[in-house]
Amino acid sequence: MADAPNDRLTKAYHERSHKTITAVQEALQVVADEDLPKLPESIFRDYFLPFFNNELKEESDRRLRLEKWLSVAGNSFHEVIIFNDTTHQPLFKVPAIWDRSVMYKGERRVPLGHIMRSAEQYAMQSPIAGMNFMMDHFEAFKLTDKESEHRAAFLQRWNEILVRYGREKLKAAAPAATAQGATDDDDDDFSFA
């Protein structure tokens, strides 16, 4: 049985709308990518990949590379586009160190960026004060219902990068400590040396 004229018109309208929305999303992604920091592949591969793959033995080397990475990225929430040294074509995006898309604001309305900047200022006076400020304010943020999907996508992106350079894939992490019976008062995961 053939579709009624109204059904065909509705279907055609939805198809056109979907194509228009997809085109707008793609255009917005191009604009967003233009604002992202960029880095040549050779520098990423030779200098930063050993840091991200935990191949550096010295703590001072790890800190220095993290500082350099943050100076390239601009902050810990930005992805970085890696491009081919010769053709300058984008190859992939390195995921942000902090993925704020898995969190939403709870009752408090303090922006996450403000919390991070304030914690850095407190940390200049005392690392413990900075960490305490950050942890107190992070309690206001909740994980989205799709946290496991976000983590799986994050892991997949990193595994694609690692495999590209002949490194071993990452394995999924064990469930969080609170799922294993730890309490919110346990500070065993944090050392303030």
- Distance of alpha carbon 75 from alpha carbon 53, whole angstroms: 20
Classify residue 71: in a domain, yes or no.
Answer: yes
Our measurement of the distance from residue 5's CA atom to the centroid of its chain's CA atoms, rounded to an integer in Å, reads 47
Residue 178 falls inside a structural domain: no
Position 176 in a domain: no
3 state SS of 61: helix
Whether 107 is covered by a domain: the verdict is yes
Given a contact cutoff of 8 angstroms between Cβ atoms, the answer to whether 80 and 38 are in contact is yes
- Looking at per-residue pLDDT, the higher value among 46 and 171 belongs to 46
89 and 43 belong to one structural domain: yes
* All residues at 6 or more sequence positions from 56 whose CB lies less than 8 Å from its CB, including other chains: 50, 62, 65
Above pLDDT 70, what percent of the chain? 66
- Do 85 and 137 belong together in one domain? no
**What's the chain's length in residues?**
193
pLDDT tens by residue, 60-78 = 888 899 899 989 998 888 8
Q: Which residues pair with 38 in a beta bridge?
A: 81
pLDDT band at 27 (very low <50, low <70, confident <90, very high): low
> What is the span of the domain harbouring residue 139?
102-170
- Quick check: is 4 in a domain? no
Q: What is the pLDDT of residues 33-68, one digit of tens each?
A: 567 899 999 999 999 999 988 898 998 888 899 899
- List CB contacts of 132: < 8 A, sequence separation 6 or more: 122
Q: Could you count the other beta carbons within 10 Å of the beta carbon of residue 11? A: 11
Residues 50 and 67 in one domain: yes
Domain end call among 98, 114, 137: 98
- Please tell me the distance from the alpha carbon of residue 82 to that of residue 42, in angstroms, as a whole number: 9
Least confident of 68-72, 96-100, 102-106: 102-106
Residue 44 lies inside a defined structural domain of this protein: yes
The pLDDT score that the predictor gives to residue 21 is 77
Residue 186 lies in a domain: no
Domain membership of residue 1 (yes or no) is: no
Residues 6+ apart with CB under 8 A from 47: 65, 68
* Sheet with 90-94, edge to edge strand ranges: 38-40, 80-83, 90-94
* Domain match, 80 and 46 both: yes
